[in-house]
Amino acid sequence: MSTFSDFVRLEPREVPLGGPRGMTVHRTLPARRTSLLGAWCFVDHFGPDDVSATDGMRVARHPHTGLATVSWLFDGAITHRDALGNHALVRPGDVDLMVAGAGITHSEFSALDTTVLHGVQLWFALPDATRFREREFTVHTPAEVATGTARARVGLGSLRAVDGQGAPLEDASPVATDTELTMVQLDLDAGGTLRLALDPAHEHGVLVDLGAALLRAGERETAVAERELMVLPDGADQLEIRAVGDGPLRLMLLGGEPLGEDIVMWWNFVGRSHEEIVAFRARYQAEIGVELALEDAPIAPVARERGGLPDDAEQFGPFAPHTPAALPAPELPHGRLRTRGRRGLPD
C-alpha cells in the first residue's frame, strides 16, 4: 500500500451546489494526489454562506451506495429526510451519520430559519465486508471538553491531547462505525498550542476552517491555511498544532485506520467495479421513473445477494411522495470508470 513520508497539501476546489444561486462548496477530497484518508473518501467544506444571497443548501432526493455520510455544522441547520423515514434537523455540534448500505436516498435543505450556513459534509467508504449491510441513521451530540485555551468536540473516535500549559483535553465518542475513524472539532485561542497523541497505524489529516495553523509531526513542520486539508506523514504518533496569526483557530481532525481497498467512486455511488456503478445508476433511474423500466434495470447481483434484497425490492426507496422531485443521475462517461485508492487517480 502506498505511503506518504511527508505532509501532503490538498488545496480546495470550488464546486457549485445546485443552480446559479446555489451554494459554493470547497472540496478537498477526493483529490488526484489521494482519494482516501483512512476510509474518508469525500470532504466538502462550505460557508459561512449567506442564505439570503444564495439558495443555501437545496439538495433534493438523491442516492448513495457503499458509503456513509456525516454532517457537521458550525452555524445554521439542515433538514434531513431519508428512505428510512427519518426527518431530522441537523444542528451545530450534532453528528448525523447515515449508512447507505446497498442503497438509500435522502435529501438535504437549509432550515427555513437559517440565515448563515457553515460546516462540513463528509463520506466514508464502507469496507467490502460490510458495504451491503443494513441501512442506518444515527444522531449524537457530543459534549464540549475544554481547557483554558482549547476546546474540542469528539464526533467520532477519540482524542488525547494536552494544551500549552499541560492541561489535558480528552474524550471519546460512543458512535460505532464499520471502520475505525476520527472526526474531532478543535478550537484554539490565538497563539495557543495543542499536542495530540495519534495512533501511528492510522492515517490523519487536518482541515482548517478558521484562522491558520502551524503543524509539527516529528521533525517535519508545515503551515496550513483556511480551507486546506493537510494530510499528515504516515506513522505519525504525535502532532503539535499552533494557532498562528492574530485570531483564533478552528479545525477538523480527520483520520482512521487504512481502508486497504481500492474503490470506484462516481457521482453519489461507491462500488468496486465499473459494472456495479452502471447497475446502481440504472436501477436508481428506473426507480425514480427515468430512462429504463424496472424490469429492464435489475438490482446488481452483488447487491441483491449480499444485501438480501428480493428481485422486486426498492433498492433506493421508498420515499415520502410529497417531497421535491428526485435528482436524476448524470450520464456516465464514455470510458470505463477506474478504481482509486490511497494514491488517487493515475496521471
What is the pLDDT at residue 130?
98
Q: Say which amino acid occupies 92.
A: P
Q: What is the pLDDT of residue 344?
A: 64
Confidence at residue 133, expressed as pLDDT on a 0 to 100 scale: 97
Strand (E) or helix (H) holding 137:
strand 136-140
Q: Is 346 exposed, middle or buried (0-12, 13-18, 19+ CB in 10 A)?
A: exposed
- The residue type of 140 is H
Q: What share of the chain is helix, strand, coil (3-state, %, to 5)?
A: 10, 45, 45
Q: What are phi and psi of 16, to 5 degrees?
A: -75, 140
Q: Which long-range contacts (CB under 8 A, 24 or more apart) does 321-326 make?
A: 323/60, 323/61, 323/81, 323/107, 324/60, 324/61, 324/107, 325/60, 325/61, 326/60, 326/61, 326/62, 326/105, 326/288
Would you place residue 342 in the very low, low, confident or very high pLDDT band (cuts 50, 70, 90)? confident
Average pLDDT (321-335) is: 92
pLDDT reported for residue 20 = 61
The pTM (predicted TM-score) of the whole model is: 0.96
In this predicted structure, the answer to whether residue 347 has a pLDDT above a threshold of 60 is no
Q: What's residue 95's pLDDT?
A: 96
Q: What is the mean pLDDT of the chain?
A: 94
pLDDT of residue 54: 84
pLDDT at 345 over 60: no
CB 182 within 8 A of CB 188: no
Q: Confirm if 252 and 213 have CB atoms less than 8 A apart.
A: no
Percent of the chain at pLDDT exceeding 90 = 88
Q: Is the pLDDT of residue 330 over 90?
A: yes
Beta strands 95-99 and 67-75 are antiparallel
Q: What residues does 211 pair with on adjacent strands?
A: none
Q: Is the pLDDT of residue 305 over 60?
A: yes
- pLDDT exceeds 70 at position 247: yes
Report the distance separating Cα 323 and Cα 16, nearest Å: 23
48 preceded by a cis bond (ω within 30 of 0): yes
User: For 117-137, what is the mean pLDDT?
Assistant: 97
Q: State yes or no: pLDDT of 36 exceeds 60.
A: yes
Domains present along the chain, CATH in parentheses = 9-256 (2.60.120.10)
| Radius of gyration for the chain, computed over Cα atoms and rounded to the nearest angstrom | 20
Q: Which are the contacts of 267, defined by CB distance < 8 A and separation ≥ 6?
A: 281, 329, 330
- The arithmetic mean of pLDDT across residues 41-63, rounded, is 92
